[in-house]
């Protein structure tokens, strides 16, 4: 966890925190919509791959904000 916070701190110090945050959010949004598309486009119910994509997409949407907030307090 310390290494992750250190990497986030380096990104925040470099001035690219906004770019990295929005890039991770965009990837998360694509994963979320991809998972929803696979889930709703198939007739087999909830599959593992769409569920994982939805979970990863949600985490990538929320994680950048949380990590930058933790880096500011650390």
Cα 45 from chain centre: 24
35 has a pLDDT exceeding 70: yes
Q: What number of residues does the chain have?
A: 74
The pLDDT tens digits for 11-27 are 777 777 778 788 889 99
pTM, full prediction: 0.71
17-41 vs 48-73: helix axis angle to the nearest 10?
A: 160
End-to-end CA distance of the chain: 12
50 has a pLDDT exceeding 70: yes
Task: Please report which confidence band the pLDDT of residue 43 belongs to, taking 50, 70 and 90 as the band edges.
Answer: confident
Please give the structure tokens belonging to residue 6. Answer: 């250190």
Task: Please report which confidence band the pLDDT of residue 48 belongs to, taking 50, 70 and 90 as the band edges.
Answer: confident
């Amino acid at each position: 966890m310390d290494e992750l916070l250190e990497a986030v701190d380096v990104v925040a110090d470099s001035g690219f925190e906004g770019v990295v945050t929005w890039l991770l959010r965009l990837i998360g949004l694509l994963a979320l919509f991809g998972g929803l598309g696979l889930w709703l486009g198939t007739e087999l119910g909830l599959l593992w791959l769409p569920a994982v994509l939805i979970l990863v997409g949600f985490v990538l949407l929320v994680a950048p904000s949380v990590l930058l907030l933790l880096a500011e307090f650390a």
